[in-house]
Amino acid sequence: MINSFKPRCFLAVLFYTLGFVYGSMGKADSFRRKVSLELNPGLKPSSTTPPGVDLLHARAVGDNDTLHFLFCTVGAPGVLLVHTNSTQSSVTVNWPVFLSRNASGSLRVEPEDSVQYSSVLVFTRLLEYDDLNNTADPQTNESIFLESYNLQDFSWSDMNSTLNLTLNTVKICGRNKSYSFSNGSLCLQFSAFESEGREEAWPSLPHTANTSQLHVWLEGVMPRANQSRFVLELQTVNRAGFQTKIDVHRFIDDEYTPSIFQVSEWQSSPANSTSFVGGFSQWKPVAYRKKTPVLEDATPCKNSPPTSLDRRPPSALVSAYFTHNPIIHGINISFSVAGDPFYSSTHFLSWTLLMGMGTPPSDFFSPLVMAIMAIGLGTPLVLILVGGVYVCIRKKDPSSYEPIN
Ligand SMILES: *[C@@H]1O[C@H](CO)[C@@H](O)[C@H](O)[C@H]1NC(C)=O
Ligand SMILES: *[C@@H]1O[C@H](CO)[C@@H](O)[C@H](O)[C@H]1NC(C)=O
Ligand SMILES: *[C@@H]1O[C@H](CO)[C@@H](O)[C@H](O)[C@H]1NC(C)=O
Ligand SMILES: *[C@@H]1O[C@H](CO)[C@@H](O)[C@H](O)[C@H]1NC(C)=O
Ligand SMILES: *[C@@H]1O[C@H](CO)[C@@H](O)[C@H](O)[C@H]1NC(C)=O
Ligand SMILES: *[C@@H]1O[C@H](CO)[C@@H](O)[C@H](O)[C@H]1NC(C)=O
Ligand SMILES: *[C@@H]1O[C@H](CO)[C@@H](O)[C@H](O)[C@H]1NC(C)=O
Ligand SMILES: *[C@@H]1O[C@H](CO)[C@@H](O)[C@H](O)[C@H]1NC(C)=O
Ligand SMILES: *[C@@H]1O[C@H](CO)[C@@H](O)[C@H](O)[C@H]1NC(C)=O
Ligand SMILES: *[C@@H]1O[C@H](CO)[C@@H](O)[C@H](O)[C@H]1NC(C)=O
Ligand SMILES: *[C@@H]1O[C@H](CO)[C@@H](O)[C@H](O)[C@H]1NC(C)=O
Ligand SMILES: *[C@@H]1O[C@H](CO)[C@@H](O)[C@H](O)[C@H]1NC(C)=O
């Protein structure tokens, strides 16, 4: 009996230890949502939207809640996120009003009392400045900002030609009819996700079923100055009583995004509650100067602190959905650092942002780091175990201490 107990005891301890180590290192999230994409919900088949005016509805249904993402090019491009505690909630659009000058109240998520959280992220402006002293600091370049590109004045491509219902993605490209954009455009790719994962292309942000991703790139645009650099202005709209802040988290592993050891999170939460997390935008502070980048094509980006704004961003989503006085915050994302090549070196710049609800996904240790840690932690552990079991065998082995009687 004692002899058969020994290996079992050893294996149990070993499996328990390994289970504990892996359990605490990689918490696998099996949470899934059923995602379906619909273009221009509720629009009669006989009617069409004007060219370049589209509303994509991504419906992500969980066990007992639904996330609605609405990606829209009526006005400046933006995404409305609505979280409801029902699996039956739906989006209704009053199209004639939605497309009119005053879209107020024309977009609703029903039933209204199922709505737990809602916010809009709008890409409002593309700013360009002449970085004469090569400081990449737009603050010191106040005087040499060129006239900004207002994204609500851009004409955007139709979503129906790029909608991919297999990958749950859509791509739009926009341009201003000026000379600078004659061969170039500003593009956005929206992706919705059914489960946890990460894209292979850098920055390979980890995503979950509670997030969607916006990949933004500026390609082939003619810079208006010899040493042009760009800044992107973003604005968020939340219900009254919300506040926003940007947190930076650092980590020790850059395997998924080479040379980047931090992530920025712009979170919105109710001013008087610490437990409820609202929504977030998350990005790694890096942009790329080539479409298929190598490490040398990475360039840092910086964000300005969020400022409170009075005017609603020019997106139909905002005027149509937020009928009461919402609160508005804005940030600028400026690309590059002093000494890095100017936009004209490649005529390309890309950046990626994740937006979602709840707790932002965090970059967990990669398999390589986990293996190193397992060896580092595991070797002494195995030695202790082997030593312990050896002592245990020596003590319990009946032959080693026969009763003396
Ligand atoms: C969601 O539904 C599951 C069972 O279907 C239940 O266990 C869980 O508590 C529910 N969650 C919420 C937040 O109601
Ligand atoms: C827009 O329409 C709503 C009602 O439909 C009205 O209350 C509001 O004053 C209008 N806003 C503007 C700017 O005309
Ligand atoms: C959803 O939330 C509302 C409050 O926002 C609550 O009144 C309602 O009972 C909730 N419904 C479910 C199914 O949990
Ligand atoms: C560039 O540097 C010069 C000298 O250091 C300074 O006088 C000038 O104001 C700087 N210009 C800008 C736009 O920062
Ligand atoms: C393009 O943008 C520039 C800079 O904002 C502006 O001056 C120009 O009027 C715009 N052109 C068109 C056709 O929208
Ligand atoms: C997309 O919609 C436009 C009208 O809005 C239509 O002219 C075009 O043919 C459609 N394209 C595809 C690929 O369905
Ligand atoms: C969607 O993307 C997949 C993978 O790139 C591709 O095989 C498929 O043809 C695309 N579908 C459409 C409708 O473009
Ligand atoms: C756009 O491309 C055409 C043909 O390649 C070229 O002739 C023209 O100069 C380009 N325009 C700009 C602004 O680069
Ligand atoms: C996503 O949202 C659901 C429902 O609120 C929640 O149960 C789940 O834990 C969330 N997943 C992550 C990774 O935040
Ligand atoms: C760019 O530099 C060249 C000479 O270095 C100068 O002739 C030209 O005017 C400059 N262009 C702009 C837009 O500043
Ligand atoms: C939090 O603030 C909002 C508006 O500022 C208010 O309506 C709500 O009652 C407050 N909640 C608590 C728990 O104080
Ligand atoms: C972004 O930068 C421009 C130029 O400095 C400035 O006018 C604008 O107010 C900034 N926007 C935000 C939201 O900080």
pLDDT at residue 395, as a whole number: 63
Residue 225 CB less than 6 A away from ligand 10: yes
Nearest-atom index, ligand 12, CA of 125:
1
Cα 189 to averaged position of ligand 4 atoms, centre (Å): 38
Q: How many beta carbons lie within 10 A of that of residue 38, not counting itself?
A: 15
Residue numbers of the chain with a pLDDT score lower than 70: 1-29, 364-370, 372-373, 392-405
Q: What is the tens place of the pLDDT at every residue in 239-281?
A: 998 999 999 998 877 788 888 889 999 999 998 777 777 899 9
What is the spatial distance between Cα 41 and Cα 49, in angstroms, rounded to a whole number? Answer: 11
- Mind giving me the DSSP string for 187-229? EEEEEE-SSSEE-SSTT--EE-TTEEEEEEEEES---SSTTEE
Looking at residue 378, its pLDDT comes to 75
Res 94: pLDDT: 96
| CA atoms of 194 and 211, how far apart (whole Å) | 9
Atom 2 in ligand 6: residue holding the nearest Cα = 160
Q: Which ligand is nearest to the CA of 225?
A: 10
Residue ranges in 92-138 assigned as alpha helix (H) = 95-98
CB of 52 shorter than 6 A to ligand 6? no
Best of 148, 149, 151, 153 for a ligand 5 pocket test (most atoms within 8 Å of beta carbon): 153
Q: What is the pLDDT of residue 405?
A: 55
Residue 367: per-residue pLDDT: 58
Residues 64-90 as b/e (b if ≥16 CB within 10 A, e otherwise) read ebbbbbbbbbbbbbbbbbbbbebeebb
Question: Looking at ligand 11, which residue's alpha carbon is closest to its atom 5?
Answer: 241
Which atom of ligand 7 is closest in space to residue 166's alpha carbon? 1
pLDDT at 377: 73
Round to whole Å and give the CA distance between 247 and 267. 8
Query: What does DSSP assign to residue 351?
Result: E
pLDDT of residue 396: 59
**Ligand 1 contact via 147 beta carbon (within 6 Å):** no
pLDDT of res. 4: 45
Spatial CB neighbours of 403, under 8 Å, sequence gap ≥ 6: none
Substitution candidate for ligand 3 out of 113, 116, 117, 276 with most atoms within 8 A of CB? 113
d(CA 269, CA 275): 9
Q: Are 182 and 159 in contact (CB under 8 A)?
A: no
Contact in structure between 69 and 60 (CB atoms under 8 Å): yes
- Range 61-67 contact pairs with CB under 8 angstroms and sequence separation of 24 or more: 61/33, 61/34, 61/35, 61/87, 62/31, 62/32, 62/33, 62/87, 62/209, 63/87, 65/116, 67/33, 67/210, 67/356, 67/357
Contacts of residue 92, defined as CB under 8 A and 6 or more positions apart, other chains included, come to 41, 42, 107, 108, 109, 110
What are 206's two structure tokens?
A: 């980890």
Q: If 0-12 CB within 10 Å is exposed, 13-18 middle and 19+ buried, where does residue 370 land?
A: middle
Q: How far is the CA of 128 from the centre of ligand 10 (A)?
A: 16
- C-alpha torsion 57→60→66→67, nearest 10: -60
DSSP state of 241: T
pLDDT value at residue 334: 96
Quick one: pLDDT at residue 3? 46
CB atoms closer than 10 angstroms to residue 285: 20
Predicted confidence at residue 399, as pLDDT, reads 55
What is the rounded CA–CA span in Å between residue 31 and residue 213?
18
Q: Are 146 and 221 in contact, with CB atoms under 8 Å apart?
A: no
What pLDDT is recorded for position 5? Answer: 44
In the beta sheet, which residues pair with residue 92? 108
CA dist., res. 229 & res. 145, Å (int): 10
Q: Is 133 near ligand 4, meaning CB less than 6 Å away?
A: yes
What tokens appear for 378 in the block?
């595991």
Q: What is the pLDDT of residue 253?
A: 77
